[in-house]
C-alpha cells in the first residue's frame, strides 16, 4: 500500500521503503519520515548578509547548516553537490537539535545570533527544522530559513511561528519557468503571501541567461512584490555555471544591473549579488 507525502505540492505516493522525489523523505512502515533528519552535510558560521539578508541584524553572523536533497530540479543549481543527491552520494554526520543549539550558543562570542537552515532545501526536513527552532527559541536564538518556498500550507503553518526571518527564492515569474525546474509557481507566491507580516522576508532572483533574464520577467515580478509591500528587499543575483548548465557563461554583470534597475522602479530595496 502506498503512502502519500503531504509535505509539498509534489505529493509523492510512496511504496514501503521508497524515497520521494526529494531523496530525503521515505515511507517507513506506512509513515512518511524525514530520512535526512539531523544529517548535516554542511555547517559554517556565515555573515547574515550571505543568506542573503540585508535588513535582518546586519553586521552579525549566523550558524548555517544544511543536509542533502531538494524537491526541485533546477538545472542551474548552485549547491547541486548536496541538493541534488541522496544519502549515499555525500558525507554527512548526525547532529541532534540540542547539539546544534549548543554549538550555536558556543559561537555567540564570535557574533552568532542563531541558526540558518540553508544550503540544500530545508523544508524537506521540516521536522528537524521545527525541533531545532523550538530548542533555539528557548535560548533567544534567531531562526532563519533560506528556501525555495515549495511547501504545503500545513508545513508552512507549522514552521512560521518559530521562524524569525526567511529568504525565499522567487526564481522566475511564470509557471512556464517553474515547469523547467519541477516546481509550482503559485505555491511559491502563496508562501510569500503567508510569510509576509508574520516573519521578516527578503526575496532572491537568480538571473539565469536564456531563462529569466528579460526585463519583462523582472518587471512583472517587481510589480507583484510591490503590490504586497514595496519595502520587501529583492536580491538580484548573478548566475555562475553549475550542475547541468556548467557550459553556460556567467550572467553578464550588465544584465544583472539592468534587471536591478527595472526592479528599482517599483521596489525600495533592491540589491545586486555575486557581482
Task: Assess whether pLDDT exceeds 90 at residue 275.
Answer: no
On whether the CB atoms of residues 73 and 81 are closer than 8 A, the answer is no
DSSP code per residue over 201-224: EEEEEEE-TTTS-SHHHHHHHHHH
Rounded CA gap, 74 and 43, in Å? 23
Given pLDDT bands bounded at 50, 70 and 90, which one contains residue 19?
Answer: very high
On whether the CB atoms of residues 98 and 91 are closer than 8 A, the answer is no
pTM of structure? 0.96
In this structure, how many other beta carbons lie within 10 angstroms of the beta carbon of residue 23? 22
The whole-number pLDDT of residue 119 equals 96
**Peptide bond just before 26 cis, omega within 30 deg:** no
Task: Assess whether pLDDT exceeds 90 at residue 148.
Answer: yes
The whole-number pLDDT of residue 99 equals 98
Place of cell 527544522: 129
Going by the DSSP 8-state scheme, the letter that residue 1 receives in this structure is -
202 is written with which cell numbers?
527578503
Rounded CA gap, 145 and 201, in Å? 10
The whole-number pLDDT of residue 126 equals 97
Rounded CA gap, 160 and 130, in Å? 9
> What confidence tens digit (pLDDT) does each residue in 132-145 have?
999 999 999 999 99
Q: What angle do CA 250, 256, 259 make, to 5 degrees?
A: 145
Mean pLDDT of all residues in 10-22: 96
167 is written with which cell numbers?
529568504
Mean pLDDT of all residues in 5-17: 96
The whole-number pLDDT of residue 33 equals 97
* Side-chain-side CA neighbours of residue 195 (13 Å): 33
> What confidence tens digit (pLDDT) does each residue in 41-70 have?
999 999 999 999 999 999 999 999 999 999
Given pLDDT bands bounded at 50, 70 and 90, which one contains residue 224?
Answer: very high
The whole-number pLDDT of residue 239 equals 95
Task: Assess whether pLDDT exceeds 90 at residue 1.
Answer: no
166 is written with which cell numbers?
526567511
> What confidence tens digit (pLDDT) does each residue in 233-274 have?
999 999 999 899 999 899 999 999 999 999 999 999 999 998
Amino acid at each position: 500500500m502506498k503512502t502519500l507525502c503531504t509535505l509539498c505540492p509534489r505529493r509523492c505516493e510512496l511504496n514501503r521503503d521508497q524515497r520521494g522525489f526529494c531523496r530525503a523523505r521515505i515511507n517507513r512502515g506506512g509513515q512518511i519520515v524525514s530520512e535526512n533528519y539531523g544529517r548535516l552535510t554542511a555547517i559554517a558560521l556565515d555573515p547574515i548578509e550571505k543568506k542573503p539578508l540585508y535588513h535582518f541584524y546586519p553586521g552579525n553572523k549566523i550558524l548555517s547548516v544544511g543536509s542533502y536533497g531538494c524537491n526541485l530540479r533546477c538545472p542551474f543549481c548552485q549547491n547541486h553537490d548536496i541538493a541534488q543527491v541522496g544519502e549515499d552520494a555525500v558525507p554527512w554526520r548526525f547532529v541532534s537539535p540540542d547539539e546544534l543549539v549548543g554549538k550555536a550558543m558556543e559561537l555567540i562570542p564570535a557574533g552568532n545570533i542563531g541558526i540558518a537552515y540553508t544550503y540544500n532545501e530545508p523544508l524537506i526536513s521540516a521536522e528537524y527544522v521545527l525541533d531545532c527552532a523550538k530548542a533555539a527559541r528557548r535560548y533567544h536564538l534567531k531562526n532563519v530559513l533560506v528556501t525555495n518556498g515549495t511547501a504545503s500550507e500545513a508545513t508552512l503553518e507549522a514552521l512560521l511561528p518559530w521562524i524569525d526571518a526567511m529568504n525565499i527564492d522567487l526564481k522566475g515569474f511564470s509557471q512556464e519557468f517553474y515547469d523547467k525546474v519541477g516546481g509550482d509557481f503559485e505555491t511559491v507566491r502563496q508562501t510569500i503571501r503567508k510569510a509576509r507580516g508574520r516573519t521578516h522576508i527578503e526575496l532572491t532572483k537568480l538571473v539565469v541567461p536564456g531563462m529569466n533574464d528579460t526585463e519583462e520577467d523582472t518587471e512583472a515580478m517587481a510589480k507583484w512584490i510591490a503590490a504586497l509591500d514595496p519595502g520587501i528587499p529583492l536580491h538580484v543575483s548573478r548566475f555562475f555555471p553549475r550542475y547541468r548548465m556548467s557550459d553556460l557563461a556567467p550572467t553578464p554583470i550588465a544584465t544583472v544591473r539592468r534587471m536591478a534597475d527595472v526592479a528599482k522602479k517599483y521596489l525600495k530595496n533592491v540589491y545586486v549579488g555575486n557581482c
